[in-house]
A and B are shown apart, each in its own frame.
Chain A
Amino acid sequence: ETGVTQTPRHLVMGMTNKKSLKCEQHLGHNAMYWYKQSAKKPLELMFVYSLEERVENNSVPSRFSPECPNSSHLFLHLHTLQPEDSALYLCASSQGRGVGDTQYFGPGTRLTVL
């Protein structure tokens, strides 16, 4: 877990709040990812960044806004969320972005939207 860190580990927010999730990777990787893990659903890929270029999953609502200032840091900015957005948000990184590149995951941020 020390390779990819996420803060905070737990977050409770109201629907009108604005907050940010932070991810940092210490592995020298070039690609970073945001995933959403909801109960009884498969992990959903939200965003991919490679060398700061973004590839989006088109189904992600605009209330989620990613930012990747450099190859080691990734943020997920949250605003006007809904209760159904409550989930575990996982960050991952990989050396490259190609097929078969192993993704290394952080411990996640448990988000609760009231």
Chain B
Amino acid sequence: AQSVTQLDSHVSVSEGTPVLLRCNYSSSYSPSLFWYVQHPNKGLQLLLKYTSAATLVKGINGFEAEFKKSETSFHLTKPSAHMSDAAEYFCVVSEGWDRGYQKVTFGTGTKLQVIP
């Protein structure tokens, strides 16, 4: 069975400093992994995804994540936080399910606060 653990429910950084949002996963097979962002009163927007190609994945808005199989981690980073990055971030794992469907499991989310 697959699962996702986002290690921090809240992260607070100063504007211009690095961002690190941590995610660990468990999966029986080779999963696909995603990071989504949700701004208040909005739907989820895809930041980036890993699908067994390059282990360092670059996404939108300067975010990137590194897939580390040995550590079962998929942490999200950004070199310099911007005020507009304040939002909730979700780590997601996708595996095979019934009849060829993917089953996605979401983490509980990390709320990022950016301090001016």
Contact = CB atoms under 8 A, between A and B. Distances in A.
Q: Is the interface of B mostly helix, strand, loop or mixed?
A: strand
Given A42-B108, A43-B106, A99-B31, A108 B98 contact: no
Given A99-B94, A99-B95, A102-B34, A45 B43 contact: no
B101 A48 contact: yes
B42 A43 contact: no
A36 to B, nearest CB: 11
Place the interface of chain B in its size category: 20 to 34
A97 B95 CA distance: 11
A104 B36 CA distance: 10
A6 B42 CA distance: 11
Contact of A100 (B90, B94, B98, B105): B94
A55 B99 contact: yes
Interface of B: 4, 31-32, 34, 36, 41-46, 49, 51, 90, 94-109
Query: Ordered nearest first, which 8 A-B pairs have the shortest CB separation?
Result: A100-B32, A105-B43, A43-B106, A105-B44, A100-B51, A107-B43, A99-B102, A42-B106
